[in-house]
Amino acid sequence: MDWDHAIDAYLDWARVERGLSPNTLDAYSRDLGLLAAQMIAQGLQTVDQVQREHLSAYMGHLLDQGRAMSTLGRHRVAFRQLFKFLVREGLLQVDPSALVQGPRRGRSLPGVLSEAHVTRLLDAPDITTPIGERDAAMLETLYATGIRVTELVTLERRALHLGYGTVRVLGKGRKERVVPIGDRALAAIHRYVNGARTLLDKAAVQRWLFLSPRGGCLTRTAFWYRVRHYARVSGIPGPVYPHKLRHSFATHLLEHGADLRMVQAMLGHADITTTEIYTHVARERLRAIHAQHHPRGIDLDPPAG
């Protein structure tokens, strides 16, 4: 089977059977397209010609290009899934990717905002304007629920249950979960729904909760720029992006004694080991606070030796 047919067959299966998001499918398509181009350049016109050493050399090629370790890992996941699919479908006898080593790196801790910086960010929008009122509701919702930015911008009005104080979220793999919303976020949403949203959706026909100035669904990129704008006007140092509020949501919950399993459920993580990274973040932050504020937290005169 040639590369185009193999990749198309895998992506079709991944979309229908695994329910992968369009963003993930686009990333896999780009990664596998680059792999195919490299293999064809070496004379490997069909997928059955590929051996383990070809894939190992390809990983080395990416490393020599200066690609980030996370990028290398994503490429390996993409071609591993492709070849596993081909073997499962009987299109290949042997999986050449099975023994290909992935990049080794320590797991970096996600960036987190302090509670004071979160407050400054959430207070930044000018709620006397329709866009500011919308942005305030979105920021409050993001921090109150920890949902992903894609989940936020694609929220539908019917997913919101103001009476119960919850929102129904459609996450990765089209898995649904119900997440509670705090009183402040509910108040901001209620103000927006009864105010700015009626101006943005004059015909009252849109199903999306958060609307663009033209009355359509707001894009992820547009909201990313809004978050960066509010971080800048608030004087918050370092990069600030929507996912950082998700990290902050999880870390602050754990710092205040929340159960790890409950945080996992709210974040929509399939594996609790993904959620456990936030326990490390919380511990590191507590150590830093202790070192900064405790009178004997920092040893200014370490013993010689």
CB 56 within 8 A of CB 98: no
172 in active site:
yes
Instruction: Return d(Cα 279, Cα 275) in angstroms, integer.
Output: 8
Among 74, 243, 280, 285, the one annotated catalytic: 243
CB atoms within 10 A of CB 47: 21
Q: Kindly give the residue spans of alpha helices, DSSP state H, lying in 89-238.
A: 115-122, 130-145, 149-153, 183-194, 196-200, 220-234
117 in active site:
no
Give the Å distances, CA to CA, from 292 to 11, 40, 111, 243, 297.
Answer: 51, 57, 19, 27, 7
Among 15, 120, 172, 177, the one annotated catalytic: 172
148 in active site:
yes
168 in active site:
no
Crossing angle for the helix pair 220-234 and 242-255, to the nearest 10 degrees: 70
Among 75, 134, 197, 269, the one annotated catalytic: 269
Among 244, 246, 247, 252, the one annotated catalytic: 246
Among 76, 148, 197, 247, the one annotated catalytic: 148
CB atoms within 10 A of CB 69: 14
120 in active site:
no
52 in active site:
no
Tell me which residues are annotated as active site. Answer: 148, 172, 243, 246, 269, 278
